[in-house]
């Protein structure tokens, strides 16, 4: 009865292949892909990283603008160092002489003065404006921030392409498992009917107990295969819904795609990886390393900043008219000797650049190999599918011939069952090769980055 089982697989697989085939546009799958791109949590996380990179760029640009800061200080002090100013010793003899000459006391005696260095009851409030006149670090820092945005964008696109491939593959896996369920459900009807036929033949003296035992074993085997197919379908559905960030038991709309005779592959055996974001990412990393080299080499250039203070200061908060002030100045900073640490930084940056360039060559070769193998996998899958079509045609013609012979009494039931088994097996393999071809093409689209992300 295993042959009876495989016998009906042909019929129902053929129905599924012909009746449920749809156009190659796959609008349902495209809608699922868009839903996955819109709701995937990993993409949302990477988008937050991209937004942070954009904010970091805005921060880097802000350093090119003047900075204005309000500051002030107030101090109370007593003691500490002081300076003695002998004003009395110097001026009192002069004042005494003047009083004698004038006969008056207009010039009083004064005491010596002791002035402490720490200002007491002193305030200083100012508005300071600073502006970088010459600072190459700001320029290269801005370049690095701009390039880091490109890295984040490429990382998001890389994950999107991988997600699209995974969604397509998971959808095809679910479709294949669902078709398997329907095939086994209908096969159960056939093998159970075969069991009843063998039991009836045995009762009428035309059968053997071995046939009944074989039929019972076939029924149990089909039941186990049906359960296995259901489990595979449930796992495929759960994984597909996981990719779409939906509940794992969410129903999936089925639209069986039609496999075109020729998929959209280049005519030549050459494959292009120019659109791969991984290469763009490494090229951006190379540009970042170059910017860091220029940044480290800029230590020889002076840093010039300017400032302008507008404020007021004085004692006891008394407005004497002399408190307001302004001050303008330039600041120069240029290293003379730092133990060659800047030269060491330059050498380290150059080594990083060499490492990135080597990695870029290696990754390009790996991606080229993956694209080449993926293209060959598509060709192999298509060849298997076309060969399966011919096998189905041949098996169908052979089955038709045996079925006619059986009705005429020239062929046995075993021969008819064997012919039917061949036809069923051929159609099942054709279904499998169909989804393998679609999955292989989805992988090829990923390897050459041919799917538009807009």
The answer to whether the beta carbons of residues 87 and 112 sit under 8 Å apart is: yes
According to DSSP, residue 333 is labeled: E
- Domain annotation covers residue 179: yes
The model's confidence at residue 348, banded by pLDDT at 50, 70 and 90, is very high
Q: Which CATH number belongs to the domain containing residue 344 in this structure?
A: 1.20.1600.10
Question: CA-CA distance, 283 to 54, in Å (whole number)?
Answer: 19
Asked whether residue 97 falls in the same domain as residue 160, the answer is: no
pLDDT in tens, 12-53: 333 333 333 333 457 899 999 999 999 888 899 999 989 998
The answer to whether the beta carbons of residues 233 and 181 sit under 8 Å apart is: yes
Of the residues 62, 97, 118, the one at which a domain ends? 118
Range of the domain at 110: 82-118
Question: CA-CA distance, 68 to 271, in Å (whole number)?
Answer: 57
pLDDT in tens, 83-95: 888 888 888 888 8
- Among 101-115, 362-376, 413-427, whose mean pLDDT is lowest? 413-427
- pTM over 0.85? The answer is no
CA angle at 19 for the pair 18 and 23, rounded to the nearest 5° = 80
Asked whether residue 292 falls in the same domain as residue 405, the answer is: yes
How much is the pLDDT for 286?
A: 93
Asked whether residue 249 falls in the same domain as residue 228, the answer is: yes
The predicted model gives 371-376 an average pLDDT of: 89
Asked whether residue 97 falls in the same domain as residue 123, the answer is: no
Asked whether residue 249 falls in the same domain as residue 110, the answer is: no
How many structural domains is the chain composed of? 2
Of the residues 67, 100, 118, the one at which a domain ends? 118
* Radius of gyration in angstroms for the set of CA atoms belonging to the chain, rounded to a whole number: 44
The model's confidence at residue 198, banded by pLDDT at 50, 70 and 90, is low
- Domain annotation covers residue 171: yes
How much is the pLDDT for 131?
A: 93
Asked whether residue 259 falls in the same domain as residue 330, the answer is: yes
Asked whether residue 89 falls in the same domain as residue 231, the answer is: no
């Amino acid at each position: 009865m295993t042959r009876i089982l495989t016998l009906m697989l042909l019929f129902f697989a053929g129905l599924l292949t012909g009746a449920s085939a749809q156009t190659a546009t796959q609008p349902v799958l495209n809608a699922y892909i868009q839903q996955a791109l819109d709701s995937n949590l990993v993409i949302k996380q990477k988008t937050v990283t991209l937004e942070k990179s954009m904010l970091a760029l805005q921060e880097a640009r802000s350093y090119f603008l003047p900075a204005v800061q309000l500051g002030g200080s107030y101090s109370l002090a007593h003691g500490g160092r002081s300076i003695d100013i002998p004003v009395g010793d110097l001026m009192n003899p002069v004042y005494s002489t003047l009083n004698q000459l004038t006969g008056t006391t207009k010039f009083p005696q004064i005491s010596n003065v002791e002035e402490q260095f720490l200002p007491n009851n002193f305030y200083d409030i100012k508005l300071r404006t600073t502006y970088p006149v010459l600072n190459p670090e700001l320029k290269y820092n801005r370049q690095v921030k701009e390039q880091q945005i490109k890295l984040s964008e490429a990382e998001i696109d890389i994950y999107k392409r991988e997600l699209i491939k995974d969604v397509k593959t998971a959808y095809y896996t679910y479709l294949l498992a669902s078709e398997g369920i329907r095939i086994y459900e209908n096969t159960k009807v056939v093998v159970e009917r075969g069991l009843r036929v063998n039991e009836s033949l045995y009762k009428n003296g035309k059968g053997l107990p071995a046939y009944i035992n074989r039929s019972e074993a076939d029924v149990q085997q089909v039941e186990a295969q049906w359960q296995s197919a259901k489990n595979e379908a449930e796992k495929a559905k759960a994984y597909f819904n996981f990719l779409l960030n939906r509940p794992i038991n969410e129903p999936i709309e089925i639209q069986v795609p039609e496999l075109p005779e020729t998929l959209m592959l280049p005519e030549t055996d050459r494959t292009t990886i120019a659109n791969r974001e991984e290469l763009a990412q490494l090229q951006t990393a190379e540009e970042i390393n170059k910017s860091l080299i220029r940044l480290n080499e800029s230590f020889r250039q002076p840093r010039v900043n300017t400032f302008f203070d507008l404020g007021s200061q004085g004692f006891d908060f008394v407005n004497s008219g002399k408190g307001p002030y302004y001050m303008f100045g330039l600041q120069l900073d240029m290293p003379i000797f730092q133990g060659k640490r800047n030269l060491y930084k330059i050498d380290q940056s150059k080594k990083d650049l060499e490492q990135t360039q080597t990695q870029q060559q290696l990754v390009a070769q790996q991606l080229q190999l993956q694209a080449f193998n993926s293209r060959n996998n598509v060709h192999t899958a298509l060849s298997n599918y076309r060969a399966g079509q011919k096998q189905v045609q041949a098996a169908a013609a052979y089955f038709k011939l045996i079925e006619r012979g059986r009705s005429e009494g020239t062929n046995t039931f075993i021969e008819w069952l064997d012919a039917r088994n061949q036809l069923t097996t051929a159609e099942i393999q054709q279904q499998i090769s169909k989804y393998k071809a679609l999955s292989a093409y989805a992988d090829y689209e990923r390897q050459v980055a041919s799917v538009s992300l807009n």
